Structure 1
Amino acid sequence: MSKLYIVGIGPGDFEYLTYKAVETVKNADIVIGSKRAIDLFDEVNEKIIFNVKNLHGNLEESVDIAKEGKDVALLSTGDPGFSGLLKPILEISEEKGFPRENIEVIPGISSLQLASSRCKIPWDSANIMTFHGRENIEDILPIIDNGLETIALPSRKVKDMAQFLIDNGVDSERQVIVCERLSYPDERIFRGSLEEVSHSEFTYMCVMVILKE
């Protein structure tokens, strides 16, 4: 029976692709993902590029194609299980009656892992939080003073998140590290205070590390 592979493609540079990811994509009947993700792979049989305005529709299509009998490789930035495509695909597959056992997850390297490496923070000794697709960023407030570094994927602009923390009583001089465009040629690691970050511009591809006091 056909398989739906959710393939983690890592933070963005081809050097962080796993061999398993490359082989899975090469052997899949159809590869579905963003143009940026698909372009990481040299060998692709047939491809469907995401319509960014209809992501849910693309995910439904990937399940439908797998149900029709073709092996599908669905490309997920970072690791599929962390702010990736695993959660929505499981929900869609259940709705459409596609067997869970026909879904295989190919793990990838999360930007959080790469950020912890760049900052030399053991990430099993840090708070790990994602706010992608979430508005309740106040959940971070009771966490950041528990004696551990906090590695977070912001839900909004990094400077807005820094301002939110300041507005909610966090010391404006609290030190943070912003890891921007990890693994890309223009990667930037910025270290400074929340106040500095709140007045700086960053792209949306960032990880924020809030250092412990």
Structure 2
Amino acid sequence: MIICIGAGPGDIGYLPRRSAELLANADVVAGFNAVIDVVRPLIPATAEIVQMGYRDQVAQLDIVAAMHHAGKRCVVVFMGDIHFSGFQYLERVERACGHPVETMPGITSAQVLASRAKVCFDETSFITFHRRGDLTPFKRHLVHVLQDQRNAIVIPCPWDEARSFMPWHIAAYLLENGIDPELKTEVWENLTRNEAEWHGTLAECAEHRCSDMSIMLIRCKTPMASQIEPPPGVSA
């Protein structure tokens, strides 16, 4: 057995019960160093831990795949939810194994942000720049989302100065592409841990600096009207 699970946004209290059970019964637990640190209290003493970073992930996943094929129960842990910003890593896991693998969803920082900021995903688009490769199509998509009068929840790209696309870069890019500088914008850091929040306009965000552990909300100018019936005594 091999299964990929989402570990949640950083606080182990947000880990789904089913994922905790899978960890408790694992022979092998693998993942990036920071993610392993989140779930370490739930890893049994008998389990082998395979940690990795960006540079050695391919070689380490080959080791995990070999143990999987040898009959070990392997759990590969992702931060947040696999289906929000982990698909490239999932592809690496499946490439190492040689077949599709089962996945177990988790709570994401995007979901926590939606809860904190009281926005609905029906009226909001999620875009992540936390990925390898060309970011241009995703940048254009973000512009179109805001032009379509939708909220946007955005995960920045923090890897290095050469290609990072942090909230201040994102705001500057949007301003250059004609997006309203007065759109209400929020930057949240370390959600579910040592939280910090910043509120301002898109123009002000271009001057705001924050840590790598950040997520961004850009609110549409005119919120979508409620579709429920008016309260008693109020005409529609």
With normalisation by structure 2, the TM-score equals 0.80
Q: Does the 8 Å contact 2:61/2:96 carry over to 1?
A: no
Separation of aligned partners in 1, 2:187 and 2:198: 5
Q: What is the letter of the counterpart of residue 209 of structure 1? A: L
In terms of Rg, which structure is larger? 2
Separation of aligned partners in 2, 1:95 and 1:26: 24
Query: In structure 2, what is the equivalent of residue 211 of structure 1?
Result: 219
Q: Does the 8 Å contact 1:147/1:212 carry over to 2?
A: yes
Query: In structure 2, what is the equivalent of residue 37 of structure 1?
Result: 35
Q: Return closer, same or farther for 1:115/1:173 CA change in 2, 3 Å cut-off.
A: same
Query: In structure 2, what is the equivalent of residue 8 of structure 1?
Result: 6
Say which of 188, 199, 213 aligns to 1:191: 199
Q: Return closer, same or farther for 1:11/1:105 CA change in 2, 3 Å cut-off.
A: same
Say which of 78, 81, 84 aligns to 2:83: 81
Query: In structure 1, what is the equivalent of residue 21 of structure 2?
Result: 23
Per-residue Cα deviation, 1:58-82 (whole angstroms, up to 9, x for no partner):
3333323212221111110001112
Q: Return closer, same or farther for 1:157/1:38 CA change in 2, 3 Å cut-off.
A: same
Per-residue Cα deviation, 1:160-189 (whole angstroms, up to 9, x for no partner):
1111111221222221111211111x2112
Per-residue Cα deviation, 1:110-142 (whole angstroms, up to 9, x for no partner):
111111001001112211222222511122111
Q: Which runs of 5+ in 2 are unaligned?
A: 158-164, 222-236
Query: In structure 1, what is the equivalent of residue 182 of structure 2?
Result: 173
Q: Return closer, same or farther for 1:70/1:122 CA change in 2, 3 Å cut-off.
A: same
With normalisation by structure 1, the TM-score equals 0.87
Q: Aligned pair count?
A: 206
Separation of aligned partners in 2, 1:92 and 1:49: 14
Q: Does the 8 Å contact 1:79/1:110 carry over to 2?
A: yes
Q: Secondary structure at the match of 1:105?
A: strand
Separation of aligned partners in 1, 2:11 and 2:169: 27
Q: Could you tell me how far 1:95 is from its partner in structure 2?
A: 6.7
Q: Return closer, same or farther for 1:160/1:71 CA change in 2, 3 Å cut-off.
A: same
Separation of aligned partners in 1, 2:42 and 2:127: 34
Query: In structure 1, what is the equivalent of residue 135 of structure 2?
Result: 135
Separation of aligned partners in 2, 1:175 and 1:72: 44
Q: Could you tell me how far 1:92 is from its partner in structure 2?
A: 5.0
Q: Could you tell me how far 1:145 is from its partner in structure 2?
A: 2.1
Separation of aligned partners in 2, 1:62 and 1:194: 44
Say which of 119, 127, 131 aligns to 1:121: 119
Q: What is the letter of the counterpart of residue 12 of structure 1? A: G
Q: Does the 8 Å contact 1:7/1:21 carry over to 2?
A: yes
In the TM superposition, structure 1's runs of 4+ consecutive aligned residues that sit over 4 Å from their partners are none
Separation of aligned partners in 2, 1:34 and 1:88: 10
**Correspondence 1:65 to 2:101:** no
Percent of aligned pairs with the same amino acid: 27
